[in-house]
Amino acid sequence: MGWAKFITIVALVSLLGGTAGGSAACAGESGVPVPNPPKGKGEQCVRETSFMRANHMNLLLHQRDETMQKGIRTKKFSLKECVSCHAVPGKDGQPVSYEDPKNFCRSCHDYVAVKLDCFECHASKPPSKQAGAVPSHENRYRVSGVLPQ
């Protein structure tokens, strides 16, 4: 293969790589090289921290299936409880949403390039305490009125 073609391929590969990894690499670029999740509220998590680190996704997906398929609703591994204990304040002192790289869940996910669609429907931060506050785009609990408050 000629040099010109070789260089084009190298350039293309790095371009694609750069684009695909773009949003996931944000945290790294902004100077957070390793995940360092902020500490949650209270004494402990819903299970041991080491267990949570490795298995939180299974708990959540199981809880979701229980709710969606069997109609079982408990607070135990509810996403609402997670975001409430794991709220991280932003510059304004208000909890940040999943849009913000400081969000607890993103503190690791950006690093391992995990992308969640959960927060397109679920709130990624606790509801605002201000009475009468209008839920923002990224803070809605309801999907066509289905999700409970």
Binding site for ligand HEC (CB under 6 A): 35, 37, 39-42, 44-46, 49, 52-53, 56-57, 59-61, 63-64, 67-68, 73, 77-82, 85-86, 104-105, 107-109, 112, 114, 116-118, 120-122, 143, 146-148
Q: Which is nearer to ligand HEC, 21 or 148 (CB)?
A: 148
CB of 14 to ligand HEC, least distance (A): 25
DSSP per position, the chain:
--HHHHHHHHHHHHHHHHHHTTTTTHHHHTT--S--PPPPSSS--SS-HHHHHHHHHHHHHHHHHHHHHH----STT-HHHHHHHT--B-TTSSBP-TTSTTSHHHHHHHHHT----GGGTS-SSPPPSSTTPPPPTT----STT-S--
Q: Which is nearer to ligand HEC, 64 or 94 (CB)?
A: 64
Q: Which is nearer to ligand HEC, 94 or 126 (CB)?
A: 126
